[in-house]
Amino acid sequence: MLPLPKPGLDARTVFTTCTATARPETLRARLQDLKDHVAKAAVEYETAAAGQALHTLGHLQHQPDGKPPPTAGGINEQLTKTYKSRMVPKRSSGRDFYDQLLSEAPDGRCALCGQGLADTLDHQLPKTAYPLLAVTPANLVPTCRDCNFYKGEQAPATAEEQTLHPYFDGHVHDYVWLTARIAGPPEPAISFHATPPPDMPPVWAARVLRHFTTLKLARLYNPQAGLELRSLSRSLHRLPPKEIPEHLRERAADWAEENPNCWQAALYRGLAESTWYAEEGYKEPWH
Ligand SMILES: [Zn+2]
């Protein structure tokens, strides 16, 4: 997860702008009547997110209409459409906000996996379950399409079920929790794991595991590591063997400065801890 500053956009302004072009006029009036509800829900959302408590917002689910399923043409469906029809399309009234949120992706990368291209916005709390938060800026995170798909429509029922939130959960990187295990000999292999340290608070630890599993990060990082290992092997063959362990430790430290839980930092930590890799493993054909 790549931490991001919370968007400076005001939820009421975004909602009012997005709904300003809704037609017919009766629909526009119905939507704009909800601006106070939307603004209030946004404040509650931010307070809950800052306290790792998005699961406590159950009272906002399926509001203002009530229980699911949403009535076709009902106000909940129209609120959801405010995102799809009035914020996402080019030249729609809210598109500038969409572009602004997307442009905050660090180096254009997905804030959830840190690897994919950020080309969409993910609703941290799904818009179908939380129509009032459909265009709330703090609920919209720049992500890749895979993460958006894997996260799906899940709404957390407990604190532990919350995936990490790039706007609110930067402190998760106070801990090192992503690890790479080097297997070998005889067959060299690498695998990534979420391994929260013992001193990590239990809710953080559960959330890290949830995030890692939901977004299938092991599956994403493994092939990246294979490519890196082949390139690294060529570099290490040019180094005096006694310098290899220190070189690996330096690479691990350099990546950790970037982000202690990026796959590269985990990979080099794992390699630096493997005596076998530094002595023999780097000569193996890594796939
Ligand atoms: Zn992603």
CA of 183 to the centre of ligand 1 (A): 27
200 and 84 inside one domain: no
Q: Among residues 162, 54, 148, which one has the least CA distance to residue 110?
A: 148
Alpha-carbon gap, residue 286 to 226, rounded angstroms: 6
- List pLDDT tens digits, range 99-138: 999 999 999 999 999 999 999 999 999 999 999 999 999 9
Q: Are 62 and 108 members of one domain?
A: yes
Q: Is residue 77 part of a domain?
A: yes
Residue where one domain finishes, among candidates 154, 186, 215: 154
Tokens of 102: 């997307």
**Ligand 1 geometric centre to CA of 119 (Å):** 10
CB atoms within 10 A of CB 64: 16
Full pLDDT tens readout for the chain, 287 residues: 999 999 999 999 999 999 999 999 999 999 999 999 999 999 999 999 999 999 999 999 999 988 776 677 789 999 999 999 999 999 999 999 999 999 999 999 999 999 999 999 999 999 999 999 999 999 999 999 999 999 999 899 999 999 999 999 999 999 999 999 998 787 788 999 999 999 999 999 999 999 999 999 999 999 899 889 999 999 999 999 999 999 999 999 999 999 999 999 999 999 999 999 999 999 887 66
Distance from the alpha carbon of residue 258 to the mean position of ligand 1, in angstroms: 18
Whether residues 142 and 198 share a domain: the answer is no
What residues make up the domain containing 250? 171-283
Instruction: Tokens for 261, please give them.
Output: 């839980």
CA 115/CA 98 separation, integer angstroms: 21
Residue 258 lies in a domain: yes
Q: Name the β-bridge partners of 117.
A: 109
Q: How far is CA 168 from the centre of its chain?
A: 11
Do 118 and 227 share a structural domain? no
Q: How far is it, in rounded angstroms, from Cα 221 to Cα 155?
A: 26
Q: What pLDDT score was predicted for residue 72?
A: 74
How many independent structural domains does the chain possess? Answer: 2
**CB-based contact 245:272 (threshold 8 Å):** yes
- What kind and span of H or E run contains 148? helix 145-151
pLDDT recorded at residue 69: 65
Residues 129 and 32 reside in one and the same domain: yes
Q: Cβ distance 244 to 282 under 8 Å?
A: yes
- In this structure, the answer to whether residues 22 and 139 fall within a common structural domain is yes
Q: What is the Å distance from ligand 1's center to 24 Cα?
A: 37
Distance CA 283, CA 279 (A): 9
> How far, in Å, is the centroid of ligand 1 from the Cα of 139?
16
| Per-residue pLDDT, 287 | 63
Cα 29 to ligand 1 centre (Å): 37
Length of the chain: 287
One domain for residues 117 and 207: no
